[in-house]
Amino acid sequence: MSRVILDDLPLNQAARIAAIDWAALAPGDAKRLRELGFDEGVTIEPLHRAPFGRDPVACKVGRMTVAVRRAHALVIQVDVSEPEVEAA
């Protein structure tokens, strides 16, 4: 297991959300992310990045695809299991 920031996770690599720094988010953003299923232990996988500065980033969260800004991806830490890293 290795812990990285969501923003550093390569595209199409699934990981598990380890920690979210809710306090670093604007209250409205934190609420929306919670409502869209962002939570510790949930599987997350970055799928697409927009043109111009690779921002925002579309992630698969649970069964849903949610677009967030890189600013959000910077405060989310994920756990990657080692074999997956090697496979990628």
Partner 1 sequence: MTTIPLVALVGNPNAGKSALFNALTGARQKVGNYPGVTVERHAGRLALEDGRPVELIDLPGAYSLDPSSPDEAVTRDVVIGKQEGERLPDALIVVVDAANLENHLRFALQLAELGLPMVVALNMIDLATRDGLEIDPEILSRELGVPVIPTVAVRKRGMAELKAAVGEAVAQGNLRKIEPGRGDGDEYDTILDTRRARDLARRAILSEAPGRQWTRRIDRILLHPVIGLVVLLALLFLIFQAVFAWATPMMDGIEAAQGWIAGGVDAGLPDGFAKSLLIDGVINGVGSVIVFLPQILILFFFILLLEGTGYMTRAAFLMDRMMSRFGLSGSSFIPLLSSFACAIPGIMATRTIADPKDRLTTILIAPLMTCSARLPVYTIIIGAFIANDTVGPGIGRQGLVLFGLYVAGVIGAMLAALVLRRTVAKGAAASFIMEMPKYQLPSLRDLLIGLWQRGYIFLRRAGTIIFATTIVLWVLLSFPQVPEGSTMTQSEYSAAGRVAKGLNVVMAPIGFNEEISLALIPAMAAREVAVSALATTYSIDESDEAQAEQSLSQRLQARWSLPTALAFLAWFVFAPQCLSTIAVTRRETNSWRWPGFMLLYLFALAYAAAGITYWTATAAGL
Greatest CA span in the chain, whole angstroms? Answer: 37
Instruction: Kindly tell me which of 55 and 79 has the beta carbon lying closer to partner 1.
Output: 55
Shortest distance (Å) from residue 83 CB to partner 1 = 18
* Residues found near partner 1 in the complex (CB under 8 A): 26, 28-29, 31-37, 39, 47-53, 55-56, 58, 60, 62-69, 71-72
CB of 63 to partner 1, least distance (A): 5
Distances (CA, A) of 22 to 41, 74, 88: 15, 12, 29
Q: Are 76 and 38 in contact (CB under 8 A)?
A: yes
